[in-house]
A and B are shown apart, each in its own frame.
Chain A
Amino acid sequence: MLLALADTPDTDQEDPVDARDGGAVVSGAPATGGSRSIGTIIRSAEIDTRLLGMIGALIVMWIGFNIMSGGTFLTARNLWNLTVQTSVVAIMATGMVLIIVTRNIDLSVGSMLAAVGMAMALLQTEILPDIFGIGHPAIWIIALAAGVALGAAMGGLQGVVVAYVGVPSFIVTLGGLLVWRGLAWWMASGRTIAPMDRTFQIFGGGARGTIGGTWTWIIGIAACLGIVALLVVRRRQKIKFGFEPRPMWAEIGIAVVACAVVMGATAVINSYPMPERLAMQYAEENGIAWPPGGLTIPLGLATPVLITIVVALVMQFVATRTRYGRYVYAIGGNPEAAELAGVKTRWTIVKTFMLMGVLVAIASSVQIARLNAATSGMGQLTELYVIAAAVIGGTSLSGGVGTIPGAVLGALVMQSLISGMVLMGVDAPLQDIVVGIVLIVAVALDSVYRRKAT
């Protein structure tokens, strides 16, 4: 977003509009300086301009960092790492969007990440091996299931206090932030728990936590087919109910651009090879002769990235295609109206907090598998990054507005900033200062944009 947002032609007929600023303007405001024809093209193609703006800003940022870091930013290696580093925050940000959309907040996710992670780590290192023996395949399954259940219970508990007792979520989850952190310490008296179960480590990416080049291509191709299938289904639906579909050139254009992006990303991911030592080991295990020049074996998509993609798709489905998702947005737009329409608003809020807890557990399993250890200090300040990712991604703190793809992009923007500054050798305190300022500037630009749009 950032600058690109302000420059985007004003064609947000399809955009959610901030409820607070809800004026009585019927049609979109005229384009502000931007070319009218581009605006018309975007409008008839029904593309989300806000998302487009964010992608534009991300590209500008990447190119900028690449120039300033002397060409080290836009390398397969850095981009591959960037995707992995974004995962933990991105997974939780998808849930935070829904929490914020219902006019709530969850400050406890960082501490919950530590508590759930500590519980999963203890289970797989100290409790379950005594029952099944080390390395038993049931261990990772039970540990993960217990973590997810614990996350849902912790989130649900907070949700009940918010929705049924009526304590503001800011207070409930501020309490949660302290309680869960204390619990994480208390569970192992502050010890670091390591190492994780061998199968569980796959969640973290790491040496064995990638799916290889072939599968990455297969997923890339499947994604392209999925995009095309989705476009076809949408078009048929529109025609079936007698609505005017997008012009054919727009449909084909969208399909081509989306597939090109997916295949491009797949190619970049697959051009990052295994480190030599790992490749040698891999060749040995698979009986491949080691040529004198070495082997270039692509690592492929890392498990955390795969998990993030799946989580984002599921959450996007939940937010836009299910009743529950509709109720979440309705509550955010007008809680009284939702209640009067017969929506069980309190239960919907409890479910949202439970969902957040489940996502925290998933993010936590990625985190402890990546570190190959659990500490009681894990995830400190992560809640702020998660909230920032959601907000940079266009989620309005006044509720009712926010999207899942926006939040994932927001997480990517934040991680790109941090990663870029690390590559440029910026000191840690200065990094914090920059991230803080960018957050404020992003939201400021966003509110200016919204005010103009309504």
Chain B
Amino acid sequence: MTQETLQRTPLVEMNNIRVAFGGVHAVDDVSVDLFAGEVVALVGGNGAGKTTLIKTLSGAHRADSGEIRIDGEKVIIDNPRDAKAFGIETIYQTLALAENIDSPGNMFLGRELRTRWGTLDDSAMESETRKVMARLNPQFKNLKVPVSSLSGGQRQSVAIAKAVYYNARIIIMDEPTAALGPAETKQVGELIKQLKAEGIGIFLISHDIHDVFDLADRISVVLQGKLVGTVNKDDVTMDDVLGMIIIGKLPDDVTQTELDDVLN
């Protein structure tokens, strides 16, 4: 978080979002925001409601109440197509790949490149995929096989490529490094820094507190569907955040007032 973001309108504001499944409030009156060129980490235990909250932004779920603003303007996101139209791309925890289709097919799913006769332009899609992969994962060359026969890292690369290819302004990453080894995790970290430098806003959901401290600017903690609070990474320690995740209380009053200063 830098000084200049203080004067700007947030890229994304999610205000008072509520989602209920049956009688259970999966997300209960949560508000978070995200500035351009910033990484906001969403942390919390299993079932805290992080993924559900983020799904209302990616269009996978509708919120029962609350509003979403992009560039300060109120928007309605009913389905994934709406979200993509606002420049929101998502890397899902499950990766959301069609296992029987090859990597270019997955990367361009829903946005296929076509020839001037309206047929699928497989060669063009393969060539574009090759270009993106040369940047993301240079060792990954067997693009024409179904995704089901790829390794975890390669599948992750496809899922990430799918999100970064389309000049997104907002990228949501749900556990992007869960299936990866140390080297690949480092690669994703570099990528996040690079995207951030390009001015893209990133919501990062992660279980790994070290990743979070390495990559995030601010950290929003959720517990049992409620927002515990949002803190500036530089103002807290890992133990503070762990305390928030587990106990559901902000570290101390000093941090609270500093936090208010920054947010207002």
Contact = CB atoms under 8 A, between A and B. Distances in A.
Whether chain B is bound by chain A comes out as: yes
Name which of B80, B99, B112, B123 has the most chain A CB atoms within 10 A of its CB.
B99
A16 B146 contact: yes
Contacts of B162: 341
A330 B105 contact: yes
Interface stretch (A62-70, A278-286, A318-326): A318-326
Interface in A306-346: 317, 320-323, 325-326, 329-330, 332-334, 336-343
| Number of chain A interface residues as a range | 35 or more
Interface stretch (B10-18, B90-98, B230-238): B90-98
Contacts, number: 117
Given A23-B149, A237-B123, A400 B90 contact: no
A19 interface: yes
Contacts of B197: none
A330 B109 contact: yes
Nearest to B55: A340
A332 B100 contact: yes
B119 to A, nearest CB: 4
A25 interface: yes
A241 B112 CA distance: 17
Given A19-B99, A19-B100, A26-B149, A241 B127 contact: yes
B80 A340 contact: yes
A140 to B, nearest CB: 31
Interface of A: 13-14, 16-19, 21-27, 237-238, 240-243, 317, 320-323, 325-326, 329-330, 332-334, 336-343, 400-401, 454
Interface of B: 58, 60, 79-81, 84, 90, 92, 94-101, 105-106, 109-112, 114, 118-120, 123-124, 126-127, 142, 144-152, 162
Given A326-B112, A338-B109, A342-B111, 12 more contacts: A22-B148, A26-B150, A241-B123, A241-B127, A243-B123, A322-B118, A329-B98, A329-B101, A337-B95, A340-B96, A341-B162, A454-B149
19 contacts: A13-B144, A14-B144, A16-B146, A17-B99, A17-B148, A24-B149, A25-B149, A241-B124, A243-B127, A323-B112, A323-B114, A325-B120, A326-B101, A333-B99, A333-B101, A334-B97, A337-B106, A340-B60, A340-B90
